Each structure stands twice: as structure tokens, then as C-alpha cells.
Amino acid sequence: MALAIGVGTIVGISATSSNLTGEETPDPTVGNARESPVSPGESNPPEVAVGESRGYLTTPEELVEIAQRARDGDEPYATGVDELLEVAKIEWDYELDRTASCPSSNRPAWIDDGGGASSLYARALAYHLTGDERYADEVRDILERVMSNVETIETDPQRCRLIFGWGTPELVASADLIEAFWHGQTCAGPSSTVYGEGDMTEGDCKDLFQNWLVKNPYYVVSYAGLDAQSNWGAAATTTMAYIADYLWDRPEVDLVHREPRSRDSDDLVTEALGPGEAYAFANQLALDRMNGYSVDLHSNESCDTLDGDQQHPDWEPVKSQITESGIIPEDARRDESCNVPEYDGSYQNYPQLHLGNLIQQCELMLRRGDRSCYDNVDRTNLADYTYEGPNGEQRTTHLRPGRGSLERAINAVIVDSGTEWRRPSALAVAYRYYRDHHAFDGIEDWVTFLRPGAAAAQDLSFGNLTHALAEDEHAPLPPSVAPPGSGQAVVVPAY
């Protein structure tokens, strides 16, 4: 069922707001940032066949090549594989409640990226690194345990929107890596894709896992995808894109997206999206968040109020976006202020967590033939950009040219403020792309933080292995396949 609200935006065209009043002019100050597309890249990726891996952070073929490099003793591959296999040996013995709650940032432990989600994904990677089907059997059994035991994820407390935003992509990637192995196998799992319905059945393993993803994590995290402009939103849209993409072969399935009914109400409206629409919607939400076109709908502590203690009095107020200086206001305010011109050099977890999740979504888009997330730089100069703030009042701000760049945001941490980067797994993924496709100076400073090993984190896991580069190695763009809904006229819903 198509989402029937407002006027949509055709996929690949950057969203602009109907209440935009500023003059658009080229930016004379962006420096050596090149012109970058907001539409899908040059490639026309092929359709993948049923029963074949689509590839999220890596593919079986890439892992076989990594395994050979490790056997040859090449670094950092040898160290990465050794450490990955140690994680894959960790016993997966977690308690699964029928109704999953989220009492802390690392519970439920089975979905935690530092716990069950990472050790599951490690097994899926190990299957192709070693050729040992025991790992694939374990992945299948774990996924069946999850989808047959966890009937519902709580929508309150709000923390589940974040916890399942962090961990669900690893579940999807794990299932994708055993696609050929479990194709045609029978599992127990949910018969319905409707949130709250608990009927179980036996059937095709992948079909039932897809049902579970739609009825539980997608339904839960979708609210944050539209509402939050912080690292919560980055995690949510990444998970939404992963799930929608994984439903590529189920075009008849509705993914139910939860949205706030209004800025002054906690009531929700639910809208149904097909997989192609949901995938395009998640990616447009990410780009709009980067470029400053989205608004936090509820928090009066949001930068989108343009006032309050979160805005430092010494500088002009700044709304949510990635600024032309690479600052992420919604996460900068957690330790400093929305409108800092530069981070103060102390470690700040929230901007790095935001960027790690964004990198994961950009990489998925790249593997669907679309470079627009990695290459995004919004060059429009909107001197009087007007929008409705979270308190319902009209606000006007200056959206400056050069904003929205993921690469510039990483440089704001590593290059501009000399801040330690503590999320090497995500940085390895970004570095593999930007090493040969960077638009700004400073890429050489990233190398200090590219530590080898099989790190797992709250953004993405084992990027140090899947995206490793030996010294002086230059990697081609990864293999890509067509996104869901390809060949159809997919419209991004308005919001």
C-alpha cells in the first residue's frame, strides 16, 4: 500500500521544503569540495537472484578474498580474521523474553552490538572466512530463536527505538550472509507482519524472519527515523533502510511507519509503505537530516528551537543539520552547544556515534549503486529558511552552503579539533571510500585511528576487517545490486 500523504518527491531528487524562502546561490567558499550528485550514481546495478546474498557491509565473495589474504599473512587481514574468529566462538546464550524491553543501553543483551548482535554477525562472517557450515547452522538457529521467542518489542520506554536501531542491521546482514545456506529451509516464526499479533507458524525461514523484522524492529524504530535529528535518528533510518532493502523480494508486504500526528501531540498516525517506498523514504530522511531540512518534532531542548541554553550566546543559533564546518548540532549540544564553530578537542561520544550509524547507511546506499550519501554536499545558500519549530512557532534561520557533508563532519572531529576517534570500525568503512574519493583535505590524518582488529560497537561491527586496506592498497568500489522497487516508479512520501 502506498503512503498517501502530501506531495511526494521522486527518488534521487533532493528534498526541498515548500516553506523555503531563501535565495539559492552557488557557494564560493566550499574550497576543493567537488560537485556531488544527490541522485543515484553512475552505475546501473544488476538485480540479484533469489537465494543470493545482496551484500550489506560485505559479500561472500569479498570474504573469500579476505580469507585468502589472511592465509597469505597479509596485514591487517590476518589480525582481523584471527580476532573475528575469537568473537565467533563466544557462546550465544541469552535470555529471550516474549516481550522485549530495554531497561538500559546494552539490554536486551542479545541485540546489543557489544554482545549478541556482534557475536551473531561474527558467526555469519566466519562461515565464509572458513567455509565451515557449523557457523551457518548457528546463525540459522539463533535467528529462529529470536523470531520464534520474541513476539513483541515494547514501544515504551523510548530507549527500544535506539537499542534496536543499533543492533538490527547486524541481524539483517547475518541473515543475508547465510541466504544461500538457509534458502528453502523451514523454521518456526511469526505468521503475521502486524505489530502485536503473536501467532506463530512454520514456513520458509527467510519469509518468517522478514515478517519478524517488519512487525517488530521496523515498527518500533520508525518513529525515531522521522522525529529525531540526533544519533537516534541516524540509527533509526539506517535500520529502516536495512529492513526495507531486505524485503526486496516481498513487494506485497506493508511496512508500517509510525509518525507523530502533530508537534503538540504524542498521538501517532501509522502509514503503510511498500519496500521500495520505505527504502527510498529512509534514505531521503537521512539526506534531509544532513542538509538541515528536517525538524525535531517534540523536544524543546532541540537545536531546532533556535533558543534556550543549548544555544551559546556568543554565536548565531544553529538548527539541526551537518553544518558547513562539519558540526552536528543535535549531538554537539550534549557536551557543548548546538552552535559551536568547532569541537573543543575533548572526546565526544554522541557526534561519533551519529556518524558511525550514518556511515552504515551511506555504505548500504553505495552497495545499491548510489553514491549520493557519501558525496553529499548541499551548496544552496538559504539566507531565510523558514520552518515550523518543535513548539509550533515559525522559525527562520540561515542554512549555509557547504553543509551536509559526512566527510566534512569526520574532519571536524579528527582534523579541526584534533579529537580522538574511538570508533575505528565505522571509520574504516568511511576511509575505504574516501581514500580515493575524498573531496576535502585531511584524509591522511584518519590513518592514526584505523586500528586493526575485529571491533564491535554501537554503530557497525567489524569494519576493520570487512573494509581493511593494506598499506598503499587502493580499493575499487564494492559490488552493487539494485535497490528494492527498481524498475518501478517509486515516490518518496512527503512528511
Measured between alpha carbons, how far is 352 from 426 in angstroms, rounded to an integer? 9
**Average pLDDT over all residues of the chain:** 89
* pLDDT at residue 262, as a whole number: 58
Mean pLDDT of 314-343: 98
* pLDDT at residue 253, as a whole number: 97
Consecutive H or E run containing 361: helix 349-366
Mean pLDDT of 471-479: 89
Q: Is residue 445 part of a domain?
A: yes
Which region among 70-79, 195-204, 447-456 has the lowest average model confidence (pLDDT)? 447-456
Whether residue 3 has pLDDT greater than 50: no
Mean pLDDT of 109-121: 92
Q: Is residue 2 part of a domain?
A: no
Which region among 26-35, 67-76, 109-118, 411-420 has the lowest average model confidence (pLDDT)? 26-35
* Residues 344-376: tens digit of each pLDDT: 999 989 999 999 999 999 999 999 999 999 999
Measured between alpha carbons, how far is 455 from 345 in angstroms, rounded to an integer? 24
452 vs 483, higher pLDDT: 483
* pLDDT at residue 355, as a whole number: 98
50 vs 240, higher pLDDT: 240
Measured between alpha carbons, how far is 85 from 125 in angstroms, rounded to an integer? 9
Output the furthest CA–CA distance in the chain (Å, rounded).
63
Beta pairing partners, 265? 262
Measured between alpha carbons, how far is 385 from 4 in angstroms, rounded to an integer? 27
Measured between alpha carbons, how far is 16 from 22 in angstroms, rounded to an integer? 11
Q: Are strands 200-204 and 186-190 parallel, antiparallel or unpaired?
A: antiparallel
Which region among 127-131, 188-192, 252-256, 296-300 has the lowest average model confidence (pLDDT)? 296-300
Residue linked to cell 498516525: 269
Q: Is residue 30 part of a domain?
A: no
Q: Is residue 17 part of a domain?
A: yes
* pLDDT at residue 471, as a whole number: 82
Number of Cα atoms under 13 Å in the Cβ half of residue 78:
5
* pLDDT at residue 8, as a whole number: 31
Q: Are strands 255-262 and 186-190 parallel, antiparallel or unpaired?
A: unpaired
Domain that holds residue 221: 9-25+50-492
Q: Are strands 382-388 and 265-273 parallel, antiparallel or unpaired?
A: unpaired
* pLDDT at residue 27, as a whole number: 40
Work out the number of other CB atoms within 10 angstroms of the CB of residue 75.
Answer: 13
Region of 243 on the Ramachandran plot (φ > 0 left; ψ -120 to 50 alpha; else beta): alpha
Whether residue 226 has pLDDT greater than 70: yes
Looking up residue 485, the CATH number of its domain turns out to be 1.50.10.100
The grid cell for 280 is 527510498
Q: Is residue 127 part of a domain?
A: yes
Measured between alpha carbons, how far is 135 from 130 in angstroms, rounded to an integer? 9
Measured between alpha carbons, how far is 223 from 51 in angstroms, rounded to an integer? 31
Q: Is residue 350 part of a domain?
A: yes
393: CB partners within 8 A, 6+ apart: none
3: CB partners within 8 A, 6+ apart: 257, 271, 272, 273, 277, 281, 493
Whether residue 216 has pLDDT greater than 50: yes
Q: Is residue 441 part of a domain?
A: yes
Q: Is residue 290 part of a domain?
A: yes
Q: How many domains does the chain have?
A: 1
